[in-house]
Amino acid sequence: MVNEAIETARGITDLGMLAVAAGFFLVLSGTMMLGLFRWFRKIIDNTLRENTACATDLRTRLDDIADGVGAIAEGLRPETRLRIRETAAIHFRCAVEQVCRVIKRVREENNIHNHEATACKIRTLLKNIHDERNRAFDSYTYKGRKLSDYTDEAWIERVAQVVEGEIYNEAGANNRRAYTNVRMAYDEIENDFMQRLDE
């Protein structure tokens, strides 16, 4: 009987230890599973956040590219170029008339014997005409740039030389000759402008 009691006690002790060990391993397994699930969830959340940020950045870049391509495509359309040519021609013809008025006004109002003051006044008036045209050109774009970007400050000097040539012409004042010479200068400027558009 003693042996049986010892065997029963040994069985309960072994089973109790087994139950404690099994419980410990169950708690350890549960903790590890929770830790692994949280770790996987964190990895998935970070991946989704990074993908969202990447997609937003990609969308922004694609929008920028689409805007640039749209501007280039507009520049390649023939009607855009025709519209720009007609608009520029109107502004250059208007400038011819304005420059002819400048010649007439400088002849009448100024002491043209003072070459330096006259030259300064001519260039100031021509710069005003040039700047006014550039402000009008700022409303239009071609190949993603404002039309005023295709103009050149050197045009002022080119026209100033024509104006001075007319004011100080030894043959005297001749409005028809002045108009023809100014028109030729602006035709060259218009051709230069159109070539700049092609570059």
What are the pLDDT digits (tens) for 82-118?
Answer: 888 888 899 999 999 999 998 888 888 767 788 888 8
**Is residue 149 located within the same domain as residue 99?**
yes
Q: How is residue 148 annotated by DSSP?
A: G
Average pLDDT on 14-31 reads 74
Q: What is the band of 65 on the pLDDT scale with cuts at 50, 70, 90?
A: confident
Range among 40-49, 60-69, 165-174 with highest mean pLDDT value: 40-49
> Which is more confidently placed, 7 or 28?
28
Query: What is the spatial distance between Cα 106 and Cα 156, in angstroms, rounded to a whole number?
Result: 16
**Is residue 41 located within the same domain as residue 96?**
no
> Which is more confidently placed, 2 or 39?
39
For 137-151, give one letter per residue: b (16+ CB within 10 A) or e: beeebbbeeebbebb
Per-residue pLDDT, 43: 92
Q: What is the band of 81 on the pLDDT scale with cuts at 50, 70, 90?
A: confident
Distance in Å from the first CA to the final CA of the chain: 114
Provide the 3-class DSSP secondary structure of residue 145: strand
**Is residue 70 located within the same domain as residue 82?**
no
Please tell me the least confidently modeled range out of 47-61, 102-116, 142-156: 102-116
**Is residue 98 located within the same domain as residue 162?**
yes
**Is residue 41 located within the same domain as residue 120?**
no
Question: CB of 94 within 8 A of CB of 136?
Answer: no
**Is residue 66 located within the same domain as residue 88?**
no
Average pLDDT on 156-169 reads 89
**Is residue 60 located within the same domain as residue 88?**
no
Q: How is residue 110 annotated by DSSP?
A: S
**Is residue 82 located within the same domain as residue 160?**
yes
Average pLDDT on 139-155 reads 86
For the chain, what percent of residues have pLDDT higher than 90?
Answer: 32
Its domain, for residue 145, covers 78-198
Question: CB of 95 within 8 A of CB of 129?
Answer: yes
> Where does a domain end: 30, 46, 76?
76
Q: What is the band of 16 on the pLDDT scale with cuts at 50, 70, 90?
A: low
Query: What is the spatial distance between Cα 174 and Cα 29, in angstroms, rounded to a whole number?
Result: 107
- How, if at all, do strands 141-142 and 145-146 pair? antiparallel
**Is residue 19 located within the same domain as residue 83?**
no
